[in-house]
Chains A and B, each alone.
Chain A
Amino acid sequence: MVRRLIPILLGLMVLGIVTAIAAAMLLFLGQDWEDALFWLFATVMIGAAILVVTMRDIIRCGLAMIVCFGVLAGIYVIIGAPLIAAAQVIVYIGAISVLILFAIMLTQTKDAPSRLVFQTQAVPAAIASVVIAVVIALAIAATDWGEAAKRIRLATDAMSSELFDSYLLPFEIVSVLLLAAVIGGVYLAKRERGGPS
């Protein structure tokens, strides 16, 4: 019982430390709310993403993925795109996470060797992903973005008038694509009559 509580306590401790750093940034370093919240959200998001790809129990991976997506919605709010944040919550947390959790429950087997989580190429994969992250960070740091310094907070009416004025055809095409994907998913996952089990 106590051993099960250890990861939870550890996670709460890390969260408390990050929150304390955010509060210190807010109080002593004179930064505003957005910086503190961005620091908090970014740390929780990267931590949850690392938990998604490294944890052993796949149900917990799914739950960590929900945390990661929810915190990313908070980052969208900080950027100034509240409609994207709402869509993130509805689409990712509401739909895709539930779909993935159902698929996990449908494909869990007791006899599957759950000890080996990673492939044999896990170490080269880790090196490759670290190299990807470093190259992206170096490229971003080396690029001069010009005078794109001011962040624009997007009002929802401006975005929706643009969406239903200039981008109406892609919108409709995406809706047809979603319909086709739903029909294809139902057809693929349907149990065949007379088939195996």
Chain B
Amino acid sequence: MTDSLDAYLILSGMLFAIGSFGFLARRNAISMLMSIELMLNGVNLAIVAFGAFGGSVAMAAQGSIVALMVMAVAAAEATVGLAIVIAIYRNKRTPLVDEYDSMRQ
């Protein structure tokens, strides 16, 4: 099972689908950010798996390097996203996204 690429890819696809459900369905802004983190982790798992099954050491190294870059960008995204959520919370006093409707016509 662990010697086939399919197992890892299906696992990462399931993680991505669960994260997309959370992003679409949750009301809390921080829950949506957590779902985005789940989706990023799924994609990261797919990248590392493709690299590890790429057939050469250079390919595996490149997969791991891209995964590291994705992790760094995910950390930056979490920092800015949570700061935005906290800044909005300070004005609106609620973390629920369906009450952020001041830009609605």
Interface residues of A, Cβ cutoff 8 Å to B: 31, 34-35, 38-39, 42, 45-46, 49-50, 52-53, 58, 61-62, 65, 68-69, 72, 75-76, 78-81, 83-84, 87-88, 91-92, 95-96, 99-100, 103-104, 106-109, 112-113, 116-119, 121-122, 124-126, 128-130, 132-133, 136-137, 140-141, 145, 147-155, 158-159, 162-163, 167, 170, 174-175, 177-178, 180-182, 184-189, 191, 195-197
Which B residues touch A78, using CB under 8 A?
Answer: 2
- Are A151 and B13 also in contact (CB < 8 A) when A103-B82, A196-B91 are? no
Select B37's contact among A65, A119, A170, A177, beta carbons within 8 Å.
A65
List the A side residues contacting B57 at CB < 8 Å. Answer: 152, 154-155, 158
Indicate whether B89 reaches chain A with its CB closer than 8 angstroms.
Answer: yes
Q: Closest Cβ of chain B: how far from A107's Cβ, in Å?
A: 4
Distance in angstroms between the alpha carbons of A163 and B26 in the assembled complex: 38
* Chain B residues numbered 33-47 whose CB sits less than 8 Å from any CB in chain A: 33-35, 37-38, 41, 45
- Compute how far the CA of A116 lies from the CA of B95 in the bound complex, rounded to whole angstroms: 13
A23 vs chain B, min Cβ distance (A): 15
A53 touches B11 (CB 8 A): no
Q: For residue B43, give the distance in angstroms from its CB to the closest CB of chain A.
A: 11
- A166: shortest Cβ distance to chain B, in Å? 8
A96→B24 contact, CB < 8 A: no
A72 to B10, CA, bound (A): 14
At the interface, is chain B mostly helix, strand, loop or mixed? helix
Q: Are B95 and A181 in contact (CB under 8 A)?
A: no
Q: When chains A and B are docked, how far (Å) is the Cα of A53 from the Cα of B35? A: 7
User: Known: A50-B18, A76-B48, A163-B65. Is A177-B73 also a contact (CB below 8 A)?
Assistant: yes
Docked CA distance A146–B9 (Å): 15
Q: Which of B6, B67, B74 is in CB contact (< 8 Å) with A96?
A: B74
Contact partner, A188, options B64, B67, B87, Cβ 8 Å:
B87
Which residues of A lie under 8 Å from residue B60 when comparing CB positions? Answer: 80-81, 152, 154, 158-159
Tell me whether B61 and A162 are in contact (CB under 8 A): yes
A117 B16 Cβ-Cβ under 8 A:
no
Given A92-B71, A159-B61, CB of A46 within 8 Å of CB of B14: yes
CB distance from B63 to the nearest CB of A (A): 8
Q: Contacts of B68 on A, CB cut-off 8 Å?
A: 84, 87, 163
* Separation of A87 and B30 alpha carbons in the complex (Å): 23
